[in-house]
Structure 1
């Protein structure tokens, strides 16, 4: 019993002490965390159309679109086309992953179209990267396509030889050029070519011939015949003996074969006004040997020589050589096929008192007209 009273007394003493304690002081300071608003930034502009910095477009109207990322409201947005603000701007506003999409349609000009966008909010203004749109309008197809063949011609006129010059080849070449251009030929005219430039001209002509239906080569100048081969004589060639010709001149047979190989299904016409007085006539062995040799071209190729084998073609005393003076008269006559044209050249020379009949070698596919009615 004594022990129980002692324990009770001890409990009361402890409890009284605890009740007598003063509560802890409360600070007046707030425990709330102060939230700081992030600083405002200017808009961020991302291109959606076009994505690439440079694009090509065939249509005349193009839709531009950008994505604007901005914490503040966008107060101003301008599209510029070739440094001019687009008038009557139509904007479509769509929420997308990168922010808000703004779009506008522009009328492209042919060629370069430079576009950019300027966006403004309370924090500032941002200018986008520039985009370049190259407008190449689609070519309108013609309802009725022309069936006229594509014609290509190379004219070479050599007259300024250091020895045995000729006075009329350049006149002849220019006269033929004028006529062929009026007949729809794309003409390359060259005169007084040395061997290197002669080869380059042939190579260029043959490279283009594959894109045409009709190929024509006209040559006026000295032409040499050695060992059954005809050669174009460049103005820098001065062979001292027959073997030199192979290295200093260009063989006609090679050009004819290359034309046939490049334009196998078309028509190839060669005018060889090169049977002029042969300055190296002393090379020939035996009287009556021809001053040019036949080539025997492939089907689709026709060679028209200014005169027959065994005869010379002359410069004549007028502005043009005899053959070409008649050629330019008759080549543009309508509804005259090429064989009739050659016959008219022959008759024209006879009427003027000249015996220089042209000579034809080869065969074209069907009739050939320089000028249709």
Structure 2
């Protein structure tokens, strides 16, 4: 053996220990790096948390807290910002221009928020405060920014940003997105304010917004009631060099505002004049750019508006905001007023009793106000009322084929033409939600026993399950043959049924799976669960009504008639009795045990489309093709009352859960009736353009933004030219809740 040479196993062992030592050192190094990384991550997370916490506290102070805006509404608000002391170089005119604009707007009646040299957090905070004030006031909003702006490519389109004064760390578009203020955020906030009109002036088309960056702004995509203006064309910049104290654009803009305030100028024309003035003064070098999306003409300045008050009593007294404006001669009086909100009151004493009309109006243009002094007639038949509300075009109303009260009576669900469902608030008359998803007419709707879900059947051959509170589609039940004419929940909500061509289908509503089919020789027109949920009843076009066992599918009873069974239901508290509505103009009471008719209700002159039974089982309700709704005594079959008001087929009827009210629906909308006074409470209509209106017999109504335009108000047979004075949601609410 050679002297110091180790055996092969010793060399191998030595190398192994050396390898282990090296591996251990590497692991320690990796662990140290890992710990350092986690330390940095934690430090970064902590910094971001503090930043978010700071922003959240700032947002708490972003609410509108201007003392001059307390207890008032309709005030015009302006946010004027001048950013001049930028880290990469001072701007010559920005701060002066902003101060000049702030003074001008204050003199014109704006409540002005004037700020200078804002960083990114301040820009975010004050634009939020600005939008909150506009949301509170609902008046005109004006945003003016003088400083640096830029545009970057974001999601395949150009987006505009306003730069804070701390722009030294803005080196590229990534930094712009992280540190600058997005114009889109401002637009989104103003959109949420839902105020009258917004004027957005971005005097930010300057060169060198940041190191290596390009100035100039891009066209903004929007469709609200706005004007957006730049000092020059898209993608171009201007140089502050012509005037000592102010930029050319700001000076011409202020001059135009001051002139417009004196002459009452249309807003669009103001910016046209500015464009022409700047072009002339710059020799055609600078051409301001303006985007318009005004939905209606808007005037700048103190333009007097003409209010014409018309009433049905001569020599009545006119008061506006409590101030006496004299006697109304010849039932008409013209008054000139500044634009604003007013309370108009007309009153007259007749035989020791005061007749009073009172209405709040928002006067922004010349307006005629109908002020009848007897808008509250005594309760009587609907046709005898001196004031009535009609749809201007009946062909524009969505036809309703099915209706249902929620179990607590708070909501009304309707479905029909237009492939939609509509959820109404029965206490206010407002349309709360529209459900989208079907592709054809909705033929049937139903609430779940807990009121949280709804079912709908449609001509698109599907049944759909919805979340009532969100309008979200939860599930679509497919596999039907033909129109799904009827749907319903079991008493416990675990099962649902649907009726289509020649079959009733049973589904597990918890697992959304098909269980079994109950065959019928004719198209199923109506189907319901028995009150205990263990039986299923269906009426069909083969002149038969069938009763099946839910769990076995066994046919328990067949009821033979001589006409279509269009609507069938069980009598509450008397499970062995059934009510049917048939195409032979009759309503029938059936004995389940004997399988035969116990009583026939005569009175309708055409086919009966729908029937329902009161919760206490004492009364029967029916809707017919003869345009009437009848209330019957179930014990003797006599008509207690005939509700008249529909002008076309009545396809659906329903009792409220407490039995005090009834619904009827058809080609002319939804009618709500009082079972005690036998009078109409309200009428609800949805129009094909998406607008809606709820009108009460006295002519007052609540409606969507343009819903009132679909309504014609007739006073003693004469159509009023302006029905704005009858828009009164409070009176409608009082009528619906019974006050």
Shorter-chain TM range is: 0.5 to 0.7
* Map of 1:348 onto structure 2: 277
Alignment of 1:1-373 (within 5 A): 149-212=74-137, 213-227=139-153, 228-238=158-168, 239-262=170-193, 264-280=194-210, 282-283=212-213, 291-318=216-243, 319-333=245-259, 334-354=263-283, 355-373=285-303
Distance in 2 separating the partners of 1:310 and 1:233: 16
3-state SS of 1:299 partner: coil
List runs of 5+ in structure 2 lacking aligned partners.
1-71, 304-739
Whole-angstrom distance in 1 between the partners of 2:226 and 2:209: 29
Q: Deviations over 1:161-188 (max 9, x none)?
A: 0113201111101111111111110000
1:301 positional shift: 1.8
Shift of 1:368: 2.1
Conserved 8 A contact 1:267-1:365? no
- Superposed CA deviations along residues 322-364 of structure 1, whole A, max 9, x for unmatched, are 2101001111222221221112112212332342111112412
Shift of 1:256: 1.0
For 1:156 and 1:324, the matched residues in 2 are separated by 13
Deviation at 1:283, TM superposition (A): 4.7
Partner SS, residue 331 of structure 1:
helix
- Aligned-partner Cα distance in 2 for 1:316–1:369: 33
Q: Distance in 2 between matches of 1:149 and 1:199?
A: 24
Q: Cα deviation per residue 1:54-94 (whole Å; 9 max; x = unaligned)?
A: xxxxxxxxxxxxxxxxxxxxxxxxxxxxxxxxxxxxxxxxx
The structural deviation recorded for 1:243 is 0.6
Q: Distance in 2 between matches of 1:181 and 1:242?
A: 37
Instruction: Please say if residues 120 and 179 of structure 2, whose CA atoms lie closer than 8 Å, have aligned partners that are also in contact.
Output: yes
The separation in 2 between residues aligned to 1:279 and 1:218, in whole angstroms, is: 18
Q: Does structure 1 retain, via aligned residues, the 8 Å contact 2:149–2:209? A: no
Residues 272 and 304 of structure 1 are in contact (CA less than 8 Å); yes or no, is this contact kept in structure 2? yes
Q: 1:222: how far off?
A: 0.2
Instruction: Kindly provide the CA deviation profile for residues 304-324 of structure 1, in whole angstroms up to 9, marking residues without a partner as x.
Output: 111111321332332111210
Q: Deviations over 1:75-118 (max 9, x none)?
A: xxxxxxxxxxxxxxxxxxxxxxxxxxxxxxxxxxxxxxxxxxxx
**Structure with greater strand share of residues:** 2
Shift of 1:257: 1.5
CA contact (8 A) 1:152 1:187 kept: yes
Structure 2 residue matching 1:211: 3-state secondary structure: helix
Confirm or deny: 8 A CA contact 2:218 2:235 kept in the other structure.
Answer: no
Query: TM-score, normalised on structure 2?
Result: 0.29
CA distance in 1, matches of 2:211, 2:296: 38
Q: Point out the structure with max Rg over C-alpha.
A: 1
- 8 Å CA contact 2:253–2:274 kept in 1: the answer is yes
**1:277 is paired with a residue of what secondary structure?**
coil
Please report how far the alpha carbon of residue 295 of structure 1 lies from its aligned counterpart in structure 2 after TM superposition. Answer: 1.4
Cα root mean square deviation, aligned: 2.1
Cα separation, 2, equivalents of 1:163 and 1:280? 7
Question: Which TM-score applies when normalising by structure 1?
Answer: 0.56
1-structure distance, mates of 2:229, 2:279: 18
Distance 1:365 1:240, change over 3 A: same
Cα distance, 1:371 vs structure 2: 1.3
The CA deviation at 1:280 is 4.4
> Greater relative contact order: 1 or 2 (C-alpha under 8 angstroms, separation 6 or more)?
1
What is the number of equivalent residue pairs in this alignment?
A: 221
Contact 2:78 2:143 in 1 (8 A): yes
Aligned to 1:61: none
Structure 1 residues 353 and 292: alpha-carbon distance in aligned structure 2, compared to 1, 3 A threshold: closer
